[in-house]
């Protein structure tokens, strides 16, 4: 049972709920599919950002190692 985000109150609810238990917003199958896709795109972009940050930190570490080894020779 995946959770989706209510577009009105922005709280997590079950994808099986016909209405939001917090604000009463009604859901149709099309609304649920649209909400799930939006959440998936957000998570994909968040993962991409994390990979970029990890690559940048790795580059800085490699640069630091190379500069230390070149000064020690």
Residue ranges per structural domain of the chain: 3-72
pTM: 0.40
Mind listing the pLDDT tens digit of every residue in the chain (73 residues)? 678 888 889 888 888 888 899 999 888 765 555 555 455 666 666 777 788 899 999 999 999 999 888 766 5
The SS3 assignment for 5 reads strand
């Amino acid at each position: 049972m995946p959770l989706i985000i209510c577009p009105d109150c922005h709280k997590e609810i079950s994808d099986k709920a016909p209405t939001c238990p917090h604000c009463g917003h009604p859901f149709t199958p099309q609304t649920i599919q649209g909400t799930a896709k939006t959440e998936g795109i957000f998570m994909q972009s968040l993962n991409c950002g994390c990979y970029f940050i990890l690559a940048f930190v790795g580059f800085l570490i490699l640069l630091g190692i190379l500069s230390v080894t070149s000064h020690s020779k």
